[in-house]
C-alpha cells in the first residue's frame, strides 16, 4: 500500500478557489474602504456642536421618517435633534436638508425641514436639496449646486465619517456632528454596521471612477 498522502479531489480544490478568491477580494475592498474613511475623517467628527467650526453650512443627510408598519425611525429623530442643536449652538449660518424625493408621498427633505422648524430652526435658514439620492450626491451637490465651501455634516457616527471622507476627497472642507445611536439594540447595531461596510465599498468605487452626481443642474443660491 502506498504511503503517499491522499490528494483532495479536483472538484474540492476548484470549489476552494471559487470561494476563497472572491472572499479575499471582498475583504481587500472592505479594508481599503475602511482605511480611506479613517484617514480622511480622522479627528473631524464630533459628539457636540461646541467642537465644530463656526460660520459653516450644516448638511443633514436624509433618511426615512418612519420604518416598517409606520413606526418612528430612531435614526431620523436623533439626526433631527442633532441638527437642531447645531443650529441653536450658533455654529452654522443655515442648514441644507438633503435626501430622496422618490414619490409624491415620500419626500425626505420636506419631512426634515418640517421637523427642524418644529425644533426651532427658522424656515428661512433651511434649504432643501431634493436630489440627494445618496450620500455621495448629497455632499457633492452641497458644494457644486449650492456653493457651500465649509460643511458640518449631521448623521450617525459611521455615516458622518463616510460623508466627511467623501467631502474631503472632493476637496470640500468638512466636519461631522454625530447623532445619537446608543438606544439601538445589538441586532439593529449589527445591521447598521453591515450596511455601513457595504456603503463604504460603494464609496470607494465612486472615488475610483470619479463619478458625478446623478442629477446636476443650474447652481442655486442659498437663502442664508
CB < 8 Å & 24+ apart, contacts of 75-80: 75/156, 75/179, 75/181, 76/111, 76/115, 78/156, 78/179, 78/180, 78/181, 79/154, 79/155, 79/156, 79/179, 80/112, 80/115, 80/116, 80/119
179-200 confidence digits (pLDDT tens): 998 777 888 889 989 999 999 9
Do the domain assignments include residue 9? Answer: no
| Domain harbouring 75, CATH code | 3.40.50.620
21-77 confidence digits (pLDDT tens): 777 788 888 999 999 999 999 999 999 999 999 999 999 999 999 987 778 999 999
- Supply the mean pLDDT for the chain: 91
Do the domain assignments include residue 178? Answer: yes
Residue numbers of the domain that contains 162: 34-209
Number of domains in the chain: 1
Do the domain assignments include residue 70? Answer: yes
Do the domain assignments include residue 40? Answer: yes
83-106 confidence digits (pLDDT tens): 999 999 999 999 999 999 877 789
Do the domain assignments include residue 10? Answer: no
Task: Look at residue 111 in the predicted model and tell me its pLDDT.
Answer: 96
Amino acid at each position: 500500500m502506498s504511503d503517499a498522502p491522499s490528494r483532495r479531489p479536483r472538484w474540492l480544490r476548484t470549489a476552494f478557489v471559487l470561494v476563497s478568491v472572491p472572499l479575499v477580494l471582498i475583504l481587500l475592498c472592505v479594508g481599503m474602504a475602511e482605511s480611506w474613511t479613517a484617514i480622511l475623517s480622522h479627528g473631524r467628527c464630533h459628539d457636540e456642536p461646541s467642537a465644530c467650526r463656526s460660520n459653516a453650512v450644516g448638511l443633514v443627510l436624509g433618511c426615512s421618517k418612519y420604518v416598517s408598519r409606520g413606526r418612528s425611525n430612531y435614526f431620523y429623530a436623533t439626526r433631527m435633534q442633532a441638527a437642531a442643536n447645531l443650529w441653536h449652538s450658533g455654529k452654522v449660518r443655515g442648514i441644507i436638508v438633503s435626501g430622496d424625493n422618490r414619490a409624491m408621498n415620500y419626500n425626505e427633505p420636506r419631512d426634515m425641514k418640517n421637523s427642524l422648524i418644529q425644533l426651532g430652526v427658522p424656515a428661512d435658514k433651511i434649504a432643501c436639496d431634493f436630489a440627494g439620492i445618496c450620500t455621495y450626491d448629497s455632499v457633492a451637490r452641497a458644494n457644486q449646486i449650492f456653493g457651500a465651501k465649509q460643511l458640518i455634516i449631521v448623521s450617525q457616527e459611521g455615516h458622518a465619517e463616510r460623508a466627511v471622507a467623501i467631502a474631503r476627497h472632493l476637496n470640500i472642507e468638512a466636519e461631522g456632528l454625530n447623532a445619537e445611536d446608543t438606544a439601538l439594540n445589538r441586532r439593529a447595531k449589527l445591521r447598521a454596521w453591515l450596511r455601513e461596510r457595504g456603503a463604504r465599498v460603494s464609496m470607494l468605487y465612486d472615488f475610483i471612477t470619479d463619478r458625478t452626481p446623478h442629477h446636476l443642474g443650474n447652481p442655486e443660491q442659498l437663502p442664508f
